[in-house]
């Protein structure tokens, strides 16, 4: 039993295509690739890159919330915020707002309203002021004071007309009070 090697014929002239007597592999000069060969040529590198990309993404993800535990602890412990590794004190209005948020979570609605009003006195930027009005509206929603909720959300929308959360909360209040004709 003899092993035969594939025979490659050299073309006699440049115009004559070369032929390979072996049945495996593409015919490089004829340009006829099967779909299987094209699929393997494209599919294997794409698959490998996908696996590497998923591994990289999963290895960089610090936690489910996207924040490192040490960052969260430092923000809550001493009122500092981290920006690109540099710690700087949080603005006073944000510290007061955080106190109000904690009171809201504990259902101390009167305390939350006071905290949000105090934070408003600290001259926050316009977007934060709209959020404070929205937070006050959330308190009034919990208390069932729909008219005051409409006033607070209207103030938030006046500051930021694209504030969808405030618009949605105001629409719910209009529905509860029966003022659906005034939704705008």
pLDDT tens-place string over residues 86-95: 678 999 999 9
Cα 74 from chain centre: 23
Task: Give the tokens for residue 82.
Answer: 């981290």
C-alpha Rg value of the chain to the nearest Å: 33
pLDDT tens-place string over residues 58-78: 887 665 555 544 444 444 445
Q: List all residues 6 or more positions away from 182 whose beta carbon is below 8 Å from its beta carbon.
A: 174
Model pTM score: 0.54
**CATH number corresponding to 91-182:** 1.25.40.10
Give the model's pLDDT for residue 64.
52
Beta strands in the chain (DSSP E): 8-9, 19-20, 80-83, 86-89
Reduce the DSSP state of residue 13 to 3 states and report it. Answer: coil
138: number of Cβ within 10 Å: 21
The stretches in the chain having pLDDT less than 50 are 18, 20-21, 68-77
Give the model's pLDDT for residue 120.
95
Give the model's pLDDT for residue 38.
82
The rounded distance, in Å, linking the Cα atoms of 9 and 21 is 8
Give the model's pLDDT for residue 33.
78
């Amino acid at each position: 039993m003899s092993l035969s090697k594939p025979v490659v014929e050299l073309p006699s002239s440049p115009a004559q295509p070369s032929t390979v007597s072996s049945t495996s592999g593409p015919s490089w000069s004829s340009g006829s690739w099967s779909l299987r060969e094209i699929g393997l040529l494209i599919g294997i590198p794409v698959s490998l890159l996908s696996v590497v990309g998923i591994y990289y993404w999963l290895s960089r993800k610090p936690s489910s919330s996207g924040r490192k535990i040490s960052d969260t602890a430092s923000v809550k412990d001493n009122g500092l915020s981290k920006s690109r590794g540099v710690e700087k004190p949080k603005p006073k209005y944000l510290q007061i707002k955080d106190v109000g948020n904690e009171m809201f979570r504990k259902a101390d609605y009167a305390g939350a309203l006071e905290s949000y009003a105090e934070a408003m006195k600290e001259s926050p930027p316009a977007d934060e002021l709209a959020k404070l009005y929205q937070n006050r509206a959330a308190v009034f929603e919990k208390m069932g004071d729909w008219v005051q909720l409409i006033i607070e959300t209207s103030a938030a929308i006046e500051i930021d007309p694209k504030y969808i959360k405030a618009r949605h909360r105001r629409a719910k209040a209009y529905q509860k009070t029966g003022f659906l004709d005034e939704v705008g």
